[in-house]
């Protein structure tokens, strides 16, 4: 089973915050793939379904961002899910808005949700880093991520979430590079140049250069 964890804060006041892009992504994914309705479990909201032939559990911790690991650890222990089968979707201020990068293991880079997950399940889980941009001053980061996405973000946000939902079955295969590539391809399909029209066949006895 794959455990998909979206990070965010519970409640309507936070629903459209940049910090909640992980929640947003799971909502779109669960709807696209016909997951069960959300219900309370594991100190969060869970929905179950399939991505291709494999079972998947979507989890939105309701412990607030700083304690996200409590919910993740509880769900992982119950289902005996190891770190390589945990995929965490979270906001990333060090990526430009709309950019997506995959990562396995490593540090938490000061992200409090990741810091908490590290404490409960270790560092070797997989991550989908979703760029929300940087305010330009580290002292403004907290207010920046706890503000709603702006109008300009609507140029990329819905397309990114839809593309992730479509590509999600690749995650259960462990094909993170393929997932990232498919998301990029869905969002920026190659341009197809029209085929050149065939040249007319000259009628016998005529001079096509005349």
Q: In terms of residue numbers, what domain contains 44?
A: 2-187
The CATH number of the domain holding residue 26 is 3.40.50.1470
19 flagged as catalytic: yes
* Integer Cα distance of 172 and 85 in angstroms: 8
**Given a cut of 60, is residue 37 above it in pLDDT?**
yes
For the segment 139-152, the average pLDDT, to the nearest whole number, is 93
Q: Is residue 168 part of a domain?
A: yes
Annotated catalytic residue, options 19, 33, 90, 111 = 19
For the segment 71-100, the average pLDDT, to the nearest whole number, is 96
**Could you tell me the pLDDT band of residue 52, with boundaries at 50, 70 and 90?**
confident
For the segment 10-19, the average pLDDT, to the nearest whole number, is 96
Q: Is residue 193 part of a domain?
A: no
* Integer Cα distance of 169 and 133 in angstroms: 27
Q: Is residue 160 part of a domain?
A: yes
Q: Is residue 204 part of a domain?
A: no
- Long-range interactions of 102-110: CB distance < 8 A, separation 24+: 102/126, 102/127, 102/128, 102/129, 102/176, 102/177, 102/179, 102/180, 103/127, 103/129, 104/176
Say if CB 56 and CB 84 are below 8 A apart: no
Kindly report the average pLDDT of the chain as a whole number: 92
**Could you tell me the pLDDT band of residue 109, with boundaries at 50, 70 and 90?**
confident
Say if CB 62 and CB 15 are below 8 A apart: no
Q: Is residue 63 part of a domain?
A: yes
**Could you tell me the pLDDT band of residue 190, with boundaries at 50, 70 and 90?**
confident
**Given a cut of 80, is residue 197 above it in pLDDT?**
no
**Given a cut of 50, is residue 32 above it in pLDDT?**
yes
**Could you tell me the pLDDT band of residue 191, with boundaries at 50, 70 and 90?**
confident
**Given a cut of 80, is residue 136 above it in pLDDT?**
yes
Domain count, the chain: 1
Q: Is residue 196 part of a domain?
A: no
Q: Is residue 192 part of a domain?
A: no
Q: Is residue 167 part of a domain?
A: yes
The pLDDT score that the predictor gives to residue 9 is 96
């Amino acid at each position: 089973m794959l455990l998909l964890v979206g990070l965010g804060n519970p409640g309507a006041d936070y629903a459209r915050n940049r910090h909640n892009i992980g929640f947003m992504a799971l909502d779109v994914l669960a709807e696209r793939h016909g997951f069960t309705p959300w219900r309370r479990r594991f100190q969060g909201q869970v929905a179950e379904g399939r991505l291709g032939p494999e079972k998947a559990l979507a989890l939105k911790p309701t412990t607030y961002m700083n304690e996200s690991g409590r919910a993740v650890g509880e769900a992982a222990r119950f289902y005996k899910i190891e770190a390589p089968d945990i995929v965490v979707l979270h906001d990333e201020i060090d990526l430009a808005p709309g950019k997506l990068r995959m990562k396995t293991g490593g540090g938490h880079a000061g992200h409090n949700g990741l810091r908490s997950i590290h404490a409960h399940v270790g560092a070797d889980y997989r991550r989908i880093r979703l760029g929300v941009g940087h305010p330009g001053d580290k002292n403004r980061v907290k207010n920046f991520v706890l503000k709603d996405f702006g109008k300009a973000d609507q140029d990329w946000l819905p397309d990114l979430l839809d593309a992730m939902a479509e590509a999600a079955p690749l995650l259960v295969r462990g094909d993170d590079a393929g997932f990232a590539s498919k998301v990029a391809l869905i969002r920026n399909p190659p341009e197809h140049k029209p085929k050149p029209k065939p040249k007319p066949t000259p009628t016998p006895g005529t001079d096509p250069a005349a």
